[in-house]
Chains A and B, each alone.
Chain A
Amino acid sequence: MISVLGLGNVLMGDDGFGPAAIHALEADYSVGDDVEVFDLGTPGLDLMPWLADVDRVVIVDTVKSDLPPGTMRIYDKRDVLRHPPSVRVGPHDPGVKDALLTLEFAGRAPRELTLIGVVPARTGLAATLSPEVGAAVQPVVSEVVRILERAGAAVTRRTNPVVGVPWWNRSARDRLEGV
């Protein structure tokens, strides 16, 4: 089993990159029963059930970096776990690192984990991606497909892509005008 998980908040500009990439992946490709594809939002420690006992996980997320916005960076499990997690003030501060470390202790972490991270330009209140980060969607989808193919998972390009904007880009006016 291999899981592809998009993380991020679609209401916070470029932070919504993960869900946007998942939407684009599902529009253009169909996957077999051995692959699960999820847009998980920002689950914090509730990420654990999605990582526990899964063989391989691919996470698509934004990452903090000094590199230019839209840059794609790829990390493995060791990179994610290199530095210890921070002291938590709000119990819901923890994220990917904490979920993964907890499962490492329980002996139930994914055997392999790939994090495909994109550097955001802005993470303010907005339901759309910046142009730089929007341009990274297709390259990231291609990277996910490459990883799936390399792992021997079933992934096929759709002959008729699913069209339609994600719900977070619709307004009441769109409904009234039947868009």
Chain B
Amino acid sequence: MSTHITVDPITRIEGHLRIDVEVDGGVVKKAWSSGQMFRGIERILIGRDPREAWLFTQRFCGVCTTVHAITSVRAVENALKLEIPPNAQYIRNLIVAAHAMHDHIVHFYQLSALDWVDVVSALKADVPKTAALATSLSNWPGNSVQQLQATKDRLAGFVAKGQLGIFANGYWGHPAMKLSPEVNLLAVNHYLQALDYQRRVNQVVTILGAKTPNIQNLAVGGVANAINLDSDATLNMAKLYKVKELLDSAKQFIEQVYFVDVCAVGGLYADWLKYGAGVTNYLSVPDLPLDAKATAFDLPGGTIMNGDLANVKAIKSFEDPYFQKNVSECIAHAWYAGDWTRHPYEEESVPRYTAYEPDGKYSWIKAPRFDGHPMQVGPLAQVLVGFAQGHEPTVRWAKRTLETAGKVAGATLTPAVLHSTLGRHAARMIRTCVIAELADKHWNLLAENIGKGDTRIFNEPVFPKGEQQGFGFHEAPRGTLSHWVVIENGAIKNYQAVVPSTWNAGPRDAKNQPGPYEASLVGNPVADTGKPLEVLRTVHSFDPCIACAVHTLDVDSKEISRVRAL
């Protein structure tokens, strides 16, 4: 007898992600991922100025603002075959790097760690024992007895008030929670400290982007950061050194805290290294371009099919036809008119909502495919594609992670364990370590280039008469993001964004191949169908972000989301 579970947070007026699973004998047998909001937002760009498209695209999503801005200017530059000055590449790269560091720290500590960490259990922790454990794992100065005691007291005071506030909806005491009170306390301590470090990297984006969220410094053709080392009003040495100081302190937190915490969770929940693989086709694109023409990159891209790392195929440039030709989207199971599979330049989005039909149409998300295959995107794809190509920092941090987590687990861990729910968390941390190092490198590249007397930041775009097509991509925190633009006589004629969470959260396609979320849930254990913590663990490991576009606050609602088990 199987149980059907629906997890559907219906408290917001516009829908979000809905997950349905069929559980039999304590194991997920079938899963459906459904986007509950129409995302035809690109239509608003038709007829607009291509030079201003990035202002609009960065409002597609409230969390992924920067990434849609960067990708949009790249798409228009690609259509115009426009190069940008090296300073503009480096400044954009620093924003990209800082945004990714911020995003990943928030994801782990504020958004998903509590799937693994039992906050209430931390109250039973022995503080000196916790401090001793922390010292054995890391040199981090924030793990002293005094600090841990303060965190424990704060938590005790909070719980004593009889309400758990931000922790009210957690599955505390759930049988799938396995960490000792000491490890839980250490994690809560870092949860609090992470708030500071996410703020520091966020400040980097504010200094370089003039504002965040929604940076102001981009332009088709470069950036708008005037550089004059002697002026307070422009990007000068004082601001550059402030950026460096902020990046360095975040790097220390990432290496001494985030790295250690993920290795510990990975090692202590080693049984979860066998769940959640799902689709093992991976896609990532190259990023952090090193020159004006973007012929060389600091982060590699490519594809891996069926988990076969030996046969990785590289994506090499912003023009690479291997990427351009192979992307399509299918609407066989999505609420649009028709059942086509089309290239983004040829797409249209005519909404046609019917009912939620698990065997028919059941999502607003289209199903992106690469050469007809579903692909997993995100940090795991980034790390595996880098690892398979021998990308030095990726290989080094991946090996260090497997070694450290292996020691905690008392087992030898191979890269194969990364194809899993916890592998996605590990990969996100590995990627963050790699990016923290590269941020430092690109800061130096920028400082050296300015030091040579090069202050160029912008090449004026010129729009020829007639039609141009272009695509831009960016390897965003959640994975491969691409924008596809058709320009006619200087105005936008068509625009499509193929976003990372669409690759991962998309529904089945015309051949009934499930998307990555759907495939990854199959085989997951579920101990308590009323509290499907394990389902949330796997879905959260992808860091879904599909419908931040509407925001209306529901102050009066008493409804605590809907988890139904039938």
Contacts from A to B (Cβ < 8 Å): 7-12, 15, 38-46, 48-49, 52, 61-65, 75, 79-98, 101-108, 115, 117, 120, 123, 125-127, 167-168, 170-173, 175-176
Contact = CB atoms under 8 A, between A and B. Distances in A.
Q: How large is the interface on B (under 10, 10 to 19, 20 to 34, 35 or more residues)?
A: 35 or more
A3 to B, nearest CB: 14
Contact of A84 (B12, B169, B550): B169
B133 interface: no
A97 B561 CA distance: 14
B132 interface: no
Contacts of B49: 170-172, 175
Interface stretch (B120-128, B241-249, B536-544): B536-544
B147 to A, nearest CB: 13
B14 A123 contact: yes
Nearest to B107: A91
Nearest to A8: B551
A41 B47 CA distance: 23
B110 A64 contact: no
Contacts of A62: 551-553
Interface of A is mostly: mixed
Interface string B198-226: 11001000000001011000000000000
A31 to B, nearest CB: 16
B63 interface: yes
Given A90-B16, A125-B44, A46 B551 contact: no
Given A15-B550, A88-B169, 8 more contacts: A8-B552, A15-B552, A62-B553, A86-B559, A105-B158, A170-B52, A171-B47, A173-B491
B490 interface: yes
B122 to A, nearest CB: 12
A123 to B, nearest CB: 5
Contacts of B195: 48, 52, 102-103, 106, 108
B297 interface: no
Nearest to A166: B55
Contact of B9 (A11, A88, A96): A88
Contacts of B549: 9, 11-12, 42
A117 B213 contact: no
Contacts, number: 221
A127 B551 contact: no
B62 A42 contact: yes
Contacts of B17: 89-90
B543 to A, nearest CB: 6
A98 to B, nearest CB: 6
Interface in B530-558: 536, 539-540, 543-558
Contacts of A79: 555
A15 B49 CA distance: 23
Contact of A45 (B41, B110, B158, B536): B110
B166 A64 contact: no
B52 A125 contact: no
Contact of B63 (A92, A127, A172): A92
Interface in B73-106: 102, 106
Contacts of A103: 195
Nearest to B10: A86
A7 to B, nearest CB: 6
Nearest to B501: A90
Contacts of B102: 46
